[in-house]
Amino acid sequence: MQQKPTLLVLAAGMGSRYGGVKQIDKLGPNGETIIDYSIYDALRAGFGRVVFVIRKSIEDDFKEVIFNKYKGHAEVDYVLQELEFLPEGFKCPAERIKPWGTAHAILMAKGKINGFFAVINGDDFYGAHAFQTMAEYLNSLSIENDSDMYSMVAYRLSHTLSENGSVSRGVCQADADGFLTGVREYTKISRTEDGIAHTNDDGSRVPLDADTLVSMNFWGFHPSLFDHIERIFKEFLKENLNQSKAECYIPSVVDELIRSGQARVKVLKTDAEWFGITYQEDRPGVVRSFRNLYKEGVYPEHLW
């Protein structure tokens, strides 16, 4: 019998724009964090194990606020993502302060996961339907025969914006069979007086449709991904090691694998309303959303 899929939670982000460690901020009506809701929804959907990616500087707080509460409810583990944790032959520049990106974060879990797994951000609320959809798809695959079959949950762009500033999104294209054909990372998407648009570095704007499918970094993978990331990340480092702000994003890795024919990515659509904290000003809206979900009976008074 195939093992239940693992949930890999990326929770090592610096939170520089937010101004604090948002992964452990108590936002729910009874002090719940966003991660609490994600773990609750994942376990209900059929995930069997949770692995967190964190950084050393928040390790003690993380274990106190997040990690210990899940004991007895799920099998949990964690790995550390640090700037100096690079493949053999590479040394982190002394002046580097920015993380290497989501692809590097996932790579940290190599050796901890040997079955199908999903990846989410620790500071995003995805909704129960997204976890149900992903779990069902991963459970339909064969670990022996589907090593090139990946997946992603796609959200409508209009369901993923912040009212308080621009956001980064992986804009997706899919073929008639529902498989991803490409992902392009846009780093400055916001609402404008004319609708939704991406602002280029030169100040020009590219309009985007409200129903554009975007990645919120909710991916489903076979463990074959780890070897792919390691290879691609090494190539990234060869070109960008001394670029202080360069990051290796998982959408870029997936895009390369699709274009080279090494992977197929099923697009799993959801109408769920995503929300999260990018800026400090987003916090009141998130608190209000969780309060409303509790009042509507979507979640119990106490998750754990």
Taking only the tens place, the pLDDT of each residue in 196-219 is: 998 988 888 989 999 999 988 899
21/200 Cα distance (integer angstroms)? 29
pLDDT(165) > 60: yes
Residue 196 lies in a domain: yes
173/74 Cα distance (integer angstroms)? 35
pLDDT(19) > 70: no
- Which stretch of DSSP H or E encloses residue 268? strand 264-269
- Which stretch of DSSP H or E encloses residue 252? helix 250-259
Structure tokens at 12: 């090592």
76/141 Cα distance (integer angstroms)? 23
| Three-state secondary structure call for residue 51 | strand
What percent of the chain shows pLDDT beyond 70? Answer: 96
> Residue 217: CA atoms inside 13 Å, Cβ hemisphere, count?
24
Q: In this structure, are residues 169 and 214 in contact, taking their beta carbons and an 8 Å threshold?
A: yes
pLDDT(17) > 70: no
Q: What's residue 38's pLDDT?
A: 95
Contacts of residue 40, defined as CB under 8 A and 6 or more positions apart, other chains included, come to 299, 303, 304
pLDDT(234) > 90: yes
Q: What is the mean pLDDT of residues 125-140?
A: 96
Structure tokens at 278: 């990018």
Structure tokens at 155: 């959200």
pLDDT(10) > 90: yes
CATH code for the domain of 266: 3.90.550.10
1 pLDDT tier (thresholds 50, 70, 90): low
pLDDT(16) > 50: no
80/55 Cα distance (integer angstroms)? 5
3-state helix, strand, coil in the chain (%, to 5): 30, 25, 45
Residue 50 lies in a domain: yes
Give me the number of domains the chain comprises: 1
Residue 303 lies in a domain: no
Buried/exposed code over 112-144 (b: 16+ C-beta within 10 A; e: otherwise): bbeebbbbbbbbbbbbbebbbbbbebbeebeee
Residue 304 lies in a domain: no
Q: What's residue 18's pLDDT?
A: 43
276/231 Cα distance (integer angstroms)? 31
Q: Which domain holds residue 242?
A: 6-295
Q: What's residue 284's pLDDT?
A: 93
Residue 302 lies in a domain: no
Q: What's residue 20's pLDDT?
A: 55
User: Best-predicted range by mean pLDDT among 70-84, 136-150, 194-208?
Assistant: 136-150
Does the global pTM surpass 0.85? yes
40/22 Cα distance (integer angstroms)? 18
Q: What is the DSSP letter of 5?
A: P
Instruction: Give me the residue label for tokens 């939170």.
Output: 15
Residue 39 lies in a domain: yes
Residue 164 lies in a domain: yes
If one compares 259 and 279, the residue with the highest pLDDT of the two is 259
Task: Tell me how crowded residue 289 is: count the other CB atoms within 10 A of its CB.
Answer: 15
pLDDT(58) > 50: yes
65/121 Cα distance (integer angstroms)? 17
Q: What's residue 41's pLDDT?
A: 96
Q: What is the DSSP letter of 113?
A: B
224/86 Cα distance (integer angstroms)? 19
